[in-house]
Structures are given as C-alpha cells and as structure tokens.
Amino acid sequence: MIRFVNVTKNYPRAAGATALRDVSFRLGKGEFAFLTGPSGAGKSTILKLLYMSERPTYGEVRVSGYSSTKVKQREIAELRRRLGIVFQDFQLLEDRTAEANVAFALEVIGTPRASIPGKVARALTQVGLASKATALPRELSGGEQQRVAFARALVNDPFVLIADEPTGNLDERATRGIFQLLREINASGTAVIMATHDLALVRSTDYRCIELNHGAIVFDSADAPRVEVEMD
C-alpha cells in the first residue's frame, strides 16, 4: 500500500541539505506505525513525501499505486482525496464553524451538495464532536480543534491517516483522548502513520515504531534495526 524504496531527499538550499538518506520501508493495509526521532530527523519529510508535497531526490515512493517518479499534479490531487492529513497546528479556517471546516474538504473536491451534511454529521459524530458542530474554532479547546481536523481528514473515508505531531500542542488529557481516537480510527480499518516526539505514548502501545535519526531509519520495531523492512 505504501512503499519507500531507497529514498533520499536533499534540500540544496537548506543548511542541513540531506533530509533523508536511503530510506526504505513498507506500510501494510490497516497498519498503525509511529515515526519517532529528534527534531530534524526526517519525520515530517517522510510524511510530505507520502502525500507528495515533496518528491524524492533519489529513490521512489509508492502510495496506493501512485509512483513519485511518474505521478502528475492532477493525480496527486486524486491521491490526496484518498488520504487524511492532520497537523500539529490543526490548520482550521478560523472564520468557519466546525461543520463548515469539515464540509470544506468535501466541497472543494466537487462532492454533490446534497450528500455533504450527512457525511459531515457522521464524521463529527465519529470524533465525538456532534454537539459542537456550529462552534467556531476559537470557541473550542485545543483537543476539540484537533478533533475537528480529524473529522475533516476522515470525512472522505481515507485508506490511511497521516498525522504530523497531532498531539504536539495538547495537554496530557487531550493527548490521551486524541490517541484513543486514533486507535478507534485504526480499528475501523484505516491505516495510521503518526509522527511524534512523545516516547511515553509510543512505549505505552505495541504498535510498530520506526525511529529516525539524521535522515536514516535507525530502528524499526517490526524487524530489528535494519534499513529495509517488509511489513505486508
């Protein structure tokens, strides 16, 4: 489903020019994996390569049949409709209600208007925010705002949820709530790949953990410290 094959990513103009070195791994259908490592280790770069906001300098990224070596801009849009993406800073539109934020993800891909309210309500219910559908982001707590972001990511029934430090801005209680939500999402069949600094969170579960350092995979719990890991 997701495959990185000897991926190297260089940023010629940046100080630390090489963000990833020869990274290879696979992520199977419905799997849950943490990406851990210090800042600058390459976690976010892996996620950007996954949703093809970046392309590898060398190697290949394959996501659900789309290859980074051949994909066209229009196909990237098609791919992203099948991904759910959440960020540390929620990325919500401040002037729109929770339900409008979720509906936005459907409107911009041309979903028929009649089917939008039902899908939005289902997504908000899934994240436990049905009662706050008409609240603006500023009227919600950090945890609740992140739940709205999750609802937006889930509303198109993605096959994988990509979460970049989703609990980074949250207190411990909200973090637990969001992580429980991630478990539920994964239990319903959606794969999850989550970048995090929170080692306590990682250790508290038996999910797969891929640890990065200086752009290389230094540990993969699925198969002892090795560069390429087969997970299908």
Partner 1 sequence: MLAFRTAMTAFRRAPLLSALSVTTIAFSLFAFGLFGLVALNIKNALQRVEERVEIRAFVAEKTPVESIAVAADEIANYPQVLKVDIVTQSQALERARTELGEFRDVFESEFLPASMDIKLKPGFRDPASVKTVAANIRNFAFVDDVRFGEEWITQLYRLRNIAGVVGAALGLAFAVVAIIIIGATIRMAVLARSKEISIMRLVGATDGFIRRPFLIEGSIKGVLGGMLALVLTYLAMRTLEQYLHFETVFFDRRLALLGIVFGALMGLMGSAVSVGRHLRRI
- Could you give the residue ranges of the DSSP H alpha helices within the chain? 43-50, 73-80, 98-107, 116-126, 142-154, 172-187, 199-203
User: Minimum distance between the CB of residue 43 and partner 1, rounded to whole angstroms?
Assistant: 17
Q: Which of 58, 69, 77, 188 binds partner 1 (CB under 8 A)?
A: 77
Give yes or no for residue 17 binding partner 1 (CB under 8 A).
no
C-beta closer to partner 1: residue 42 or 137: 137
C-beta closer to partner 1: residue 9 or 152: 152
Give yes or no for residue 80 binding partner 1 (CB under 8 A).
yes
**Taken in order 100, 102, 103, 109, is the CA torsion positive or negative?**
positive
Give 107: exposed, middle or buried? Use CB within 10 Å, 0-12, 13-18, 19+. exposed
Tell me the site size for partner 1, rule CB under 8 A.
Answer: 23
Question: Which amino acid does the sequence have at 84?
Answer: G
Give the pairing of strands 58-63 and 2-10: antiparallel
User: Minimum distance between the CB of residue 77 and partner 1, rounded to whole angstroms?
Assistant: 5
C-beta closer to partner 1: residue 136 or 218: 136
Give yes or no for residue 9 binding partner 1 (CB under 8 A).
no
For residue 77, give every residue at least 6 positions away whose Cβ sits within 8 Å of its Cβ, in sequence order, or none.
109
C-beta closer to partner 1: residue 43 or 80: 80
User: Minimum distance between the CB of residue 197 and partner 1, rounded to whole angstroms?
Assistant: 22
Residue 207 CA to residue 33 CA, distance in Å, equals 6
* Rg of the chain on CA atoms, in Å: 17
Q: What is the longest distance spanned by two Cα atoms in the chain?
A: 51
Mutual angle of helices 116-126 and 98-107, in 10-degree steps: 130
> Which residues within the stretch 96-115 sit at the binding site for partner 1 (CB under 8 A)?
104-105, 107-110
Question: Which amino acid does the sequence have at 138?
Answer: R
C-beta closer to partner 1: residue 71 or 231: 71
User: Minimum distance between the CB of residue 200 and partner 1, rounded to whole angstroms?
Assistant: 29
User: Minimum distance between the CB of residue 73 and partner 1, rounded to whole angstroms?
Assistant: 6
Q: Which of 57, 156, 169, 186 binds partner 1 (CB under 8 A)?
A: 156
Judged by the rule CB under 8 A, the positions of this chain that interact with partner 1 are 51, 53, 73-74, 77-83, 85, 91, 93, 95, 104-105, 107-110, 152, 156
